[in-house]
Amino acid sequence: MNDISSQIPAEAAGTRQPERRFGEPLLTVENISLSFGGLQALTDISFDILEQEIRAIIGPNGAGKTSMLNVINGFYHPQKGTITYKGNIRRTMRPHMAAAQGIARTFQNVALFKGMSTLDNIMTGRLLKMHNLRAPETGVFGLDQVLRWGAGALDFVTQCLYWGPNEKEETRQRAYCEEIVDFLEIQAIRKTPVGRLPYGLQKRVELARALAMEPELLLLDEPMAGMNVEEKEDMSRFILDVNEEFGTTVALIEHDMGVVMDISDRVVVLDYGRKLADGRPDEVRSDRGVIDAYLGVAH
């Protein structure tokens, strides 16, 4: 297990550098078109998300932002276009496969598991990282599959008995979740059923659950919707911290332009399913098309 505190780079404590160094493109979408029957949701969209950057997707209501996120994490299957993730062209996939590849997501209207406690919600986020038993790799054709099935069955038995490897694994993952709880400052609500929490905290728990997946790409759908200024500041700080401390690439949709311009490295603007502009926040801000889309054009 990774110890979070050891991953903090020394310079992270300092101020944010205006010119940060980004890596290769983590995810590239090319010529994506998506339609539902006669409704064209996305038309010929291309952009990329570089490693370790914070990429904002903005646009007026109904511009196709959420559809774009749904395409990225496998909910929608575009009719045209390709998605390249970590250098490989991605086939059509289900959301749980995207999760296995390191894509985590939060939702516009909080999608927590309402009947479970905060801690259980976060632990559920660790599900893919939990292995009570691992089958040994022999490389013999067929045998590996049999061993995997056997390990799965044994794993099930240890869960039934809450014994040995299962108890150890539960404790180990709990320790990891507690670090996230500390990081997001939600210690006090650990055991509270999330249905009872106020909205702002629910958003934070949802972020915690996404972080528990140790994602490489974190998709945030309106993380600050419906929050007051103080909560927005907290959330912005958490997003920046996640990005800097864990090196997580973030793609976010947000309507609060102040926040978007402050925290994002590059912005892509959509309107009516088409890409209007793409670039650094200051470039986008002065773009004629973007201003027209937001303010309307005088005829």
Binding site for another protein (CB under 8 A): 73, 75, 94-96, 98-100, 104-105, 107, 111-116, 120, 123-125, 127-128, 130, 132, 156, 159-162, 166-167, 170-171, 174-175, 178, 209, 213
In the complex, minimum distance from the CB of residue 114 to another protein, in angstroms, rounded to a whole number: 5
- How many helices (H) and strands (E) the chain has is answered by 10, 10
Single out the residue of 221, 276, 256 nearest to residue 69, CA to CA.
221
What is the CB-side half-sphere exposure of residue 18 using CA atoms within 13 A? 2
Q: In what order do the strands lie in the sheet with 54-58?
A: 103-106, 217-221, 249-253, 54-58, 266-271, 274-279
C-alpha 95/C-alpha 212 separation (Å) is: 17
211 and 176 Cβ atoms separated by less than 8 Å: no
- Closest approach, Cβ 11 to another protein, in A, equals 33
| Closest approach of another protein to the CB of residue 162, in Å | 4
Chain-centroid distance of CA 109 in Å reads 15
Q: Output the smallest distance, CB 54 to another protein, in A.
A: 20
**Min CB(87)–another protein separation in Å:** 22
Find, among 103, 126, 100, 122, the residue nearest to 113 by Cα.
Answer: 122
Q: How far is the CB of 227 from another protein (least distance, A)?
A: 20
- Least Å from the CB of residue 158 to another protein: 8
Cα–Cα distance, 128 to 227 (Å, whole number): 31
CB closer to another protein out of 111 and 229: 111
Cβ 169 vs Cβ 132: under 8 Å: yes
Place of tokens 């054709």: 141
DSSP state of 117: B
CB 192, CB 186: distance < 8 Å: no
Q: Which is nearer to another protein, 113 or 272 (CB)?
A: 113
Of the pair 107, 294, the CB lying nearest another protein is at 107
User: Looking at beta carbons only, is 22 or 107 nearer to another protein?
Assistant: 107
Would you say 1 or 175 has its CB closer to another protein? 175
**Least distance in angstroms from the C-beta of 148 to another protein:** 14
Exposed, middle or buried by CB within 10 Å (0-12, 13-18, 19+), for 46?
middle
Nearer to another protein, 121 or 236 (CB): 121
Q: How far is Cα 169 from Cα 43, in angstroms, rounded to an integer?
A: 46
Nearest residue (CB) to another protein, 9 versus 195: 195
* Rg, the chain, Cα only: 21
Report the C-alpha gap between 201 and 248 in whole angstroms: 22
Q: Which is nearer to another protein, 154 or 291 (CB)?
A: 154
